[in-house]
């Protein structure tokens, strides 16, 4: 078994483990996100004015970034699997927001445009890659299907208030 296959198998096993990271309120609607990845720098998220100050991306933008990033990485992996060198890859994502029946703001859809750094004519097995790379994007497929989110709320003394 070659090294690339070993790396992929270990990635699959490690990705099956649940992960936990923390968010800590900094100011009004600004939260510092500390990821569980040892070398990852903390990230500040914030709501735009008038709620926050727009000091960082808000949750809708983080979701859109996650979708675009996952799709780009999935495409890169699929292309490299066939020894292609598509770099640099660039993606842009447009997110549509709207109101649901209860007048609550929701993400209604996203459009992701991915541009390869090299001509498609230089890519081996391109049709095969394009037909299946989206199926391997964990975030995009999860968002498309929807999933359960359980919520618990505790007070300052740790007592469960909801959930």
Parse the chain into domains and list their residue ranges: 1-56, 58-144
Token pair for residue 135? 């199926």
Region 58-144: CATH code? 3.30.300.20
> What tens-digit pLDDT sequence spans the chain (163 residues)?
455 555 555 555 567 889 999 999 999 999 999 999 999 999 999 999 999 999 999 999 999 999 999 999 999 999 999 999 999 999 999 999 999 999 999 999 999 999 999 999 999 999 999 999 999 999 999 999 987 878 899 988 999 999 9
Check residue 9 and give its pLDDT.
52
pTM across the whole model:
0.86
Report the SS3 class of residue 25: strand
Residues 6+ apart with CB under 8 A from 110: 64, 67, 68, 93, 94, 95, 96
Check residue 1 and give its pLDDT.
42
Report the SS3 class of residue 56: coil
Check residue 154 and give its pLDDT.
94
């Amino acid at each position: 078994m070659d090294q690339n296959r070993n790396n992929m198998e270990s990635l699959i096993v490690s990705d099956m483990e649940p992960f936990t990271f923390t968010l800590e309120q900094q100011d009004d609607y600004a939260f510092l996100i500390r990821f569980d990845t040892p070398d990852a720098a903390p990230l500040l998220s914030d709501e735009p004015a008038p709620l926050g100050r727009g000091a960082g991306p808000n949750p809708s933008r983080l979701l859109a970034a996650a979708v675009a990033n996952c799709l780009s990485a999935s495409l890169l992996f699929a292309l490299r699997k066939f020894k292609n060198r598509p770099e640099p890859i660039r993606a842009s994502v447009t997110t549509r927001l709207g109101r649901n029946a209860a007048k609550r703001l929701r993400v209604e859809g996203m459009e992701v445009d991915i541009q390869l750094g090299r001509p498609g004519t230089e890519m081996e097995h391109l049709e095969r890659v394009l037909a299946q790379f989206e199926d391997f994007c964990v975030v995009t497929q999860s968002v498309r299907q929807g999933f359960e989110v359980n919520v618990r709320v505790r007070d300052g003394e740790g007592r469960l208030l909801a959930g």
